[in-house]
Structure 1
Amino acid sequence: MDEYKEHLRRLAVHDEALLEPSQSEKTSRAVSALDERTQALVRIAATIAVDAAPASFQQAVALALAAGATGNEIVATLDAVTPVTGTARVVQSAPKIALALGYDVEDALEHLDP
């Protein structure tokens, strides 16, 4: 059986060993056909989709940067998920990603000339 098929079978039957947080992270890296940078960008997309806490955005962005993703690629992920998650979710996530990249959007908006 192909490795991905076995992995899907184990997920489908809720294999506890596979679904433990530390184990699932190791397993997903081991069987993924995606490179580390792409996996990190997908993680950001998922973080946006589930409206995660700011700390989760911090971690996801840090992992993406460590994997070689650029700030432009991380921001492009917001654009890429807009058709799926909706504009409101992306607008809500943008300041969290900005802060994780070291840019305080809300502070910048406060200093705009009226």
Structure 2
Amino acid sequence: MILNFLFESSDHLRYENGIHVAGPHGGANRAVKVEPNINGCSGYNLQGGDGYIVTIYNLDGAHPVWQNNVQMSPKPMKIVSQSEEKIVLRGYPVQAMSPFGWIDFNGQDYGLTIYIKNHY
């Protein structure tokens, strides 16, 4: 299955280590972009062609400090499970650029679960 979409939402829930820590927020407009990893991912030591790149945008406006609306910077992810009802994407260990050069980054802390409403 090839995933390539932009999903806009008026609210969201946040989980950390499987525990619900925030939301619903009563209005927190976000967009989730999932696209095939064609050319790698800026900031990561990653070749194109493997998995997906997931980015989350804040649709309520630009951040006052970094002057853009990126809520979660692009993260490389792979499908770790798939059924008729849902698809689970999860980050994986990769190298990321830091002020000190390439460092190991455990992307497994990041994930996205896509629930399929009218599954096939």
TM-score, normalised to structure 1, is 0.23
Of structures 1 and 2, the one scoring higher in RCO (CA 8 A, sep 6+) is: 1
Indicate the structure with greater strand content. 2
TM-score, normalised with respect to structure 2: 0.22
**Greater helix share, structure number:** 1
